[in-house]
């Protein structure tokens, strides 16, 4: 996966998926309490990362979502009229390396901010939606832990990555 900066502003980057398509990474958040990053393709959101800084030396991953049902907004009136006649099929952006990019972006930002640990919670719904999720986090260096007090309700397992 390739990450390129499209300008001197580090909050505007271009990401390429496994097939070479370019996505714009739009970053929001104050860097003090939260981080939200969205992946956009043709001005439609195809993925999102939500994190919370808590306490000052930890970053909690709230969600990493890659959409599997995106219908892009028509770029001009002709395309909009054509859409009335032909119903477009939703596009699935999962399994293209975009979630990996968002996770790597969170890790990079955490290191820049001096964060010592990244952690999160996996619920049964998360695992049902993506049966490979536990292995995916392990592949990226996360430890899989039993639920603890810092996890959300209904947690099946916690995830943790020490950055020290």
Residue 3: per-residue pLDDT: 35
Tell me the whole-structure pTM to 2 decimals. Answer: 0.82
Is residue 71 over pLDDT 50? Answer: yes
Q: Which of the two residues, 57 and 100, has the higher pLDDT score?
A: 100
Model confidence band, residue 116 (pLDDT cutoffs 50, 70, 90): very high
Q: Put residue 20 in one of left, alpha, beta given phi > 0 → left and psi -120 to 50 → alpha.
A: left
Lowest mean pLDDT among 37-41, 66-70, 116-120: 66-70
Q: Which of the two residues, 3 and 105, has the higher pLDDT score?
A: 105
CA nearest neighbour of 25 among 111, 133, 103:
103
Is residue 4 over pLDDT 50? Answer: no
Continuous H helices in the chain? 77-85, 98-112, 124-129, 133-139
pLDDT averaged over every residue in the chain: 84
Residue 9: per-residue pLDDT: 42
Residue 56: per-residue pLDDT: 76
Q: Which of the two residues, 4 and 42, has the higher pLDDT score?
A: 42
Stretch 119-131: mean pLDDT: 92
Model confidence band, residue 140 (pLDDT cutoffs 50, 70, 90): very high
Identify whether the C-beta of residue 93 lies closer than 8 Å to the C-beta of residue 68: yes
Q: Which of the two residues, 164 and 122, has the higher pLDDT score?
A: 122
Stretch 48-57: mean pLDDT: 88
Neighbours of 26 (CB within 10 A): 15
Model confidence band, residue 30 (pLDDT cutoffs 50, 70, 90): low
């Amino acid at each position: 996966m390739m990450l390129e900066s499209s300008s001197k502003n580090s909050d505007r980057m271009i990401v390429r998926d496994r097939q070479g398509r370019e996505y714009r990474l739009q970053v929001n958040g104050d860097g003090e309490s939260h981080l939200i990053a969205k992946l956009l393709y043709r001005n439609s959101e195809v993925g999102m990362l939500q994190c919370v800084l808590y306490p000052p030396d930890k970053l909690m991953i709230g969600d990493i979502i890659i959409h599997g049902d995106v219908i892009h907004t028509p770029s001009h009136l002709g395309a909009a009229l054509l859409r009335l006649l032909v119903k477009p099929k939703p596009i699935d952006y999962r399994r293209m390396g975009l979630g990996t990019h968002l996770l790597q972006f969170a890790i990079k930002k955490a290191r820049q901010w001096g964060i010592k640990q990244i952690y999160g919670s996996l619920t049964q719904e998360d695992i049902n939606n993506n049966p490979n999720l536990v292995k995916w986090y392990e592949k990226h260096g996360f430890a899989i832990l039993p639920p603890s007090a810092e996890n959300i309700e209904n947690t099946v397992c916690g995830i943790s990555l020490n950055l020290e």
